[in-house]
Amino acid sequence: MTWNKRLKHPNKIVNVGDVAEAKVLGIDIENKRISLGMKQLEQNPWDVVEQQYPVGSIVKGKIRNVTDFGIFVGIDEGIDGLVHISDLTWGQRIKHPSEKYKKGDEVEARVLSIDKDNERFSLGIKQLSEDPWYTVHGRFFLGQVIEGPVVHRTDFGIFVEVEDGVEGLVHLSELLVDADDWQEQYPEGKVVKAEIIHIDSHDRKISLSERGAVERAAGDPEDFKKSQSGAATRLGDVMGDLSRKLKDKSEAQET
């Protein structure tokens, strides 16, 4: 009757006594049946979806449904796009999409892929912004003390939000509390200070130390500032050396 899969009952579009047009789809003489189709008189929206919404374009629509694995966004009549839970945010701690979205919300998303044959339209909300891990070395460095809320607890430590989409692990050995009930003293949302002791942007990992932050705070403030400035300078020297090496290599290849 319609390309819109959300139709739950025919009386939403027709009533008894209405005059309707339809296309003959099949004739079964033996069983005296004629199959008709109303949607076949209209263009299949999936036939032009790639032209209207090319991959990489940004679309806007209202959330039609919220499920355990993502949200469905209404893009056009008969076309819903799925934002999988893994494409909602660069952070990894959303347990259910309903934590951030509800039915009826209007959202923007980027078109990731279109499968016309299987009528699948994949969208991404986190893709509207750059992956923060690509430039994490430009904003954070070893020895820097950050402050953020606890977003997750495990048997081996706690994860602290360094910034939106970037989380760091404070291993159990780097926590100030080492009692048996340590997890109770680090509830989700509690703000902690921790020193950055390792950064691996490739594996998307930052190691933190709450003990290290306290040790730095207990020292001379001026020494602490100098150590932070020195860490940033050393990082700049390393990046500069790497840039020069790449340039020299490129010039040698051209020669």
Question: In the numeric block, which tokens belong to residue 189?
Answer: 């949302």
Which residue range(s) make up the domain with 113? 46-128
How many domains does the structure of the chain reveal? 3
**pLDDT under 50: residue ranges of the chain:** 220-222, 224-225, 227-236, 238, 242
* The last residue of a domain, from among 128, 163, 188: 128
The predicted pLDDT at position 247 comes to 52
Whether residues 156 and 116 share a domain: the answer is: no
The predicted pLDDT at position 50 comes to 81
pLDDT digits (tens, 9 = 90+) for 47-88: 788 888 999 999 999 999 999 999 999 988 778 899 999 999
Whether residues 235 and 178 share a domain: the answer is: yes
Q: Please report, in angstroms and rounded to a whole number, the separation of the first and last CA atoms in the chain.
A: 69
Whether residues 75 and 122 share a domain: the answer is: yes
Question: What is the torsional sign of CA 209, 213, 219, 220?
Answer: positive
Mean pLDDT score of the chain: 83
Whether residues 156 and 238 share a domain: the answer is: yes
The predicted pLDDT at position 231 comes to 47
Burial class of residue 175, CB neighbours in 10 A (0-12, 13-18, 19+):
buried
- Any domain includes 255: no
- Any domain includes 253: no
The predicted pLDDT at position 252 comes to 53
- Any domain includes 18: yes
The predicted pLDDT at position 205 comes to 92
The predicted pLDDT at position 238 comes to 47
pLDDT digits (tens, 9 = 90+) for 150-180: 988 999 999 999 988 899 999 999 999 888 8
The two beta strands, 70-76 and 79-84, are antiparallel
Question: In the numeric block, which tokens belong to residue 20?
Answer: 């309707």
- Dist. CA 105–CA 67, nearest whole Å: 14
Whether residues 156 and 92 share a domain: the answer is: no
The two beta strands, 145-154 and 120-124, are unpaired
Q: Residue 241: in which H helix or E strand, if any?
A: helix 221-254
- Any domain includes 53: yes
- Angle of helix 210-218 relative to helix 221-254, nearest 10 degrees? 120
Whether residues 144 and 242 share a domain: the answer is: yes
Secondary structure E strands in 29-165? 33-37, 58-67, 70-76, 79-84, 106-115, 120-124, 145-154, 157-163
Question: What is the torsional sign of CA 144, 145, 148, 151?
Answer: positive
- Any domain includes 214: yes
Whether residues 57 and 140 share a domain: the answer is: no
The predicted pLDDT at position 51 comes to 84
- Any domain includes 77: yes
- Any domain includes 5: no
Provide the CATH number for the domain around residue 211: 2.40.50.140
Whether residues 242 and 139 share a domain: the answer is: yes
The two beta strands, 79-84 and 120-124, are parallel
Q: What is the dihedral of CA 65, 67, 71, 74, to 10 degrees?
A: -20
